[in-house]
A and B are shown apart, each in its own frame.
Chain A
Amino acid sequence: MPMVDIDWLKDHVEVPEDLTYEQLAKDLVKVGLEEEEIHASQVTGSIVVGYVVDATPEPQKNGKIINWCHVDVGEQYNAVDEDGNKVPRGIICGAPNMAAGEKVVVTLPGAVLPGDFKIEPRKTYGHISDGMCASERELGLGDSHDGIILLREYGFSEAEYEALKPGDDAMHLLHLDQPFWRLTSLLIVDMPSHIAAWPGEYHHSTGAAYTDPVIALNEQTPVVTGLEPGTPTDIEVSIEDNAPIHGVPGCDRYYARVIRGVDASAHTPNAMRRRLTRAGMRSLSLAVDVTNYVMLDLGQPMHAFDLDKLEGPIVVRRANEGETLTTLDGKDHKLDPEDLVITDSPNGEHGSRILAIAGVMGGLYGEVTEETTNILLESAHFDQVTVARSARRHKIPSEASRRFERGVDTQLQPAAAQMAVNLLEQLAGGTPSEHPTDINMTSRRLPIHFKANEVSRVAGLDVDVNTVSNILSDIGCTVAGGGNGEFSITAPTWRPDLNEPCDLVEEIARLVGYDEIPVTVPPAPVHGHVGLTPEQAYRRRVAQELAEFGMDETLSYPFVGDEDFKAFGYDKDEVAPISVEVANPLAGDRPYLRRSILLTLAQTVQRNLRRGVENVSLYELGHVYLWDPQAPAIPALPGGVRPTDEQLKALDAGLPEQPMHVAGILTGLAEQTGWLGDQRAVDWSDAVEAVNRIGERLGASLKLDQPQSENVPVQWHPGRAAKVLSAGVEVGMVGELHPRVNEALGLPEHSAAFELNLSALFSTLDAKPVQAKAISTFPLVRQDLAFTAPKSLSAEALKQAIVEASGDMLEHIELFDVFEGEQLGEANRSLAFAVTFRAQDKTLDSQDTEAIRAAIVQRAETLGATLRA
Chain B
Amino acid sequence: MKTERLLVAQSAVFDAQAVSAAVSEGIELIEKASSMEALKSIRTRYAGADSAMTQASKAIGALPADQKKDAGKLMGKLRAEFGRAFAAKEEQVKAAEEAAALAAQTVDMTMPVHRKPLGSRHPLPKLLENVEDFFISMGWQISEGPEVESEWYDFDALNFGPDHPARQMQDTFYVKGNQAKDAAGFVGSNMVLRTQTSSDQVRALLTHGVPLYIASPGRVFRTDELDATHTPVFHQCEALAVDKNLTMADLKGVLDKLAVAMFGPEAKSRLRPSYFPFTEPSAELDLWFPDKKGGPGWIEWGGCGMVNPNVLKSAGLDPEEYTGFAFGVGMERTLLLRHDINDMHDLVEGDVRFSKQFVMGE
Interface segment, B40-48, B60-68, B248-256?
A: B248-256
Q: Which residues of A contact B250 (CB under 8 A)?
A: 460, 520-522
Q: Which residues of A contact B163 (CB under 8 A)?
A: 384-385, 388-389
Given contacts A532-B142, A555-B125, contact A583 B174 (CB under 8 A): yes
Q: Give the bracket for the number of chain A residues in contact with chain B.
A: 35 or more
* Other-chain contact of B351, A34, A524, A611, A615 (Cβ < 8 Å): A611
* Alpha-carbon distance between A392 and B164 when the two chains are bound, in angstroms: 11
Q: Which residues of A contact B356 (CB under 8 A)?
A: 552
Contacts between the two chains (Cβ within 8 Å), count: 305
State the Cβ distance, A96 to closest chain B Cβ, in Å.
Answer: 28
* Alpha-carbon distance between A32 and B281 when the two chains are bound, in angstroms: 12
A128 contacts partner chain B, Cβ-Cβ < 8 Å: no
Given contacts A529-B141, A608-B351, A634-B189, contact A639 B254 (CB under 8 A): no
A contact patch SS: loop
B2 contacts partner chain A, Cβ-Cβ < 8 Å: no
State the Cβ distance, B352 to closest chain A Cβ, in Å.
Answer: 4
* Alpha-carbon distance between A521 and B213 when the two chains are bound, in angstroms: 13
A550 contacts partner chain B, Cβ-Cβ < 8 Å: yes
B191 touches A634 (CB 8 A): yes
- Against B, the Cβ 8 Å flags (1 = close, 0 = not) of A627-646 are 00000011111111111000
State the Cβ distance, A418 to closest chain B Cβ, in Å.
Answer: 30
* Alpha-carbon distance between A540 and B118 when the two chains are bound, in angstroms: 18
* Alpha-carbon distance between A227 and B241 when the two chains are bound, in angstroms: 58
* Alpha-carbon distance between A553 and B127 when the two chains are bound, in angstroms: 13
A586 touches B139 (CB 8 A): no
Q: Which residues of A contact B355 (CB under 8 A)?
A: 552-554
Q: Which residues of B contact A503 (CB under 8 A)?
A: 280
A621 to B, closest residue via Cβ:
B125
Q: Which residues of A contact B176 (CB under 8 A)?
A: 581-583
A543 contacts partner chain B, Cβ-Cβ < 8 Å: yes
A459 touches B306 (CB 8 A): yes
B185 touches A393 (CB 8 A): yes
* Alpha-carbon distance between A459 and B112 when the two chains are bound, in angstroms: 62
A552 touches B120 (CB 8 A): yes
A616 to B, closest residue via Cβ:
B352
* Alpha-carbon distance between A514 and B190 when the two chains are bound, in angstroms: 37
A555 touches B148 (CB 8 A): no
Q: Which residues of A contact B119 (CB under 8 A)?
A: 546-553, 617
A593 contacts partner chain B, Cβ-Cβ < 8 Å: yes
A584 to B, closest residue via Cβ:
B169
Interface segment, B30-38, B94-102, B308-316?
A: B308-316
B210 to A, closest residue via Cβ:
A527
Q: Which residues of B contact A536 (CB under 8 A)?
A: 132, 142
B132 touches A672 (CB 8 A): no
B115 touches A672 (CB 8 A): yes
B182 contacts partner chain A, Cβ-Cβ < 8 Å: yes
State the Cβ distance, A425 to closest chain B Cβ, in Å.
Answer: 37
A613 contacts partner chain B, Cβ-Cβ < 8 Å: yes
State the Cβ distance, A650 to closest chain B Cβ, in Å.
Answer: 9
* Alpha-carbon distance between A635 and B189 when the two chains are bound, in angstroms: 9
B121 contacts partner chain A, Cβ-Cβ < 8 Å: yes
Q: Which residues of A contact B152 (CB under 8 A)?
A: 634-637, 639, 643, 651
A749 contacts partner chain B, Cβ-Cβ < 8 Å: no
Q: Which residues of B contact A35 (CB under 8 A)?
A: 286, 298
Residue among B115, B124, B160, B311 with the highest chain A CB neighbour number at 10 A: B115
B161 contacts partner chain A, Cβ-Cβ < 8 Å: yes
B247 to A, closest residue via Cβ:
A460
B229 contacts partner chain A, Cβ-Cβ < 8 Å: no
B157 touches A639 (CB 8 A): yes
B156 contacts partner chain A, Cβ-Cβ < 8 Å: yes
Q: Which A67-84 residues have a C-beta within 8 angstroms of B?
A: none
State the Cβ distance, A528 to closest chain B Cβ, in Å.
Answer: 6
A392 touches B184 (CB 8 A): yes
A560 contacts partner chain B, Cβ-Cβ < 8 Å: no
B120 touches A547 (CB 8 A): yes
B4 contacts partner chain A, Cβ-Cβ < 8 Å: no
B350 touches A555 (CB 8 A): yes
* Alpha-carbon distance between A743 and B95 when the two chains are bound, in angstroms: 62
A405 to B, closest residue via Cβ:
B165
A530 contacts partner chain B, Cβ-Cβ < 8 Å: yes
* Other-chain contact of B233, A336, A514, A520, A557 (Cβ < 8 Å): A557
A639 touches B117 (CB 8 A): no
Q: Which residues of B contact A586 (CB under 8 A)?
A: 223, 225, 232
State the Cβ distance, B330 to closest chain A Cβ, in Å.
Answer: 15
A580 touches B309 (CB 8 A): no
CB-CB nearest 3 A-B residue pairs: A460-B247, A642-B316, A524-B139
Sample 28 A-B pairs with CB under 8 A, ordered by A number.
A34-B300, A35-B298, A191-B275, A385-B163, A388-B163, A457-B323, A459-B247, A460-B247, A460-B250, A505-B280, A505-B281, A506-B281, A520-B253, A522-B241, A527-B211, A554-B350, A583-B176, A586-B232, A613-B351, A634-B152, A634-B189, A636-B152, A639-B310, A639-B311, A640-B159, A655-B148, A655-B149, A674-B115
A contact residues vs B (CB 8 Å cutoff): 29, 31-32, 34-36, 188-191, 336, 384-385, 388-389, 392-393, 405, 456-461, 497, 500, 502-503, 505-506, 509-510, 514-515, 517-522, 524-533, 536, 540, 543-544, 546-558, 580-586, 593, 604, 607-608, 611, 613, 615-618, 621-623, 625, 633-643, 648, 651-652, 654-656, 658, 670-672, 674-677
B contact residues vs A (CB 8 Å cutoff): 111-122, 124-125, 129, 132, 136, 138-142, 146-153, 155-163, 165, 168-169, 173-179, 182-191, 193, 206, 208, 211-213, 219, 223, 225, 232-233, 241, 243, 246-250, 252-254, 256-257, 270-275, 280-284, 286, 298, 300, 306, 308-311, 313-316, 323, 348-353, 355-356, 360-361
Task: A500-B280, A522-B213 given; name 19 further pairs at CB < 8 Å.
Answer: A34-B284, A34-B300, A191-B274, A389-B185, A457-B323, A500-B309, A502-B306, A517-B252, A525-B140, A528-B212, A553-B119, A557-B232, A557-B348, A583-B175, A583-B176, A623-B147, A639-B159, A639-B311, A642-B313
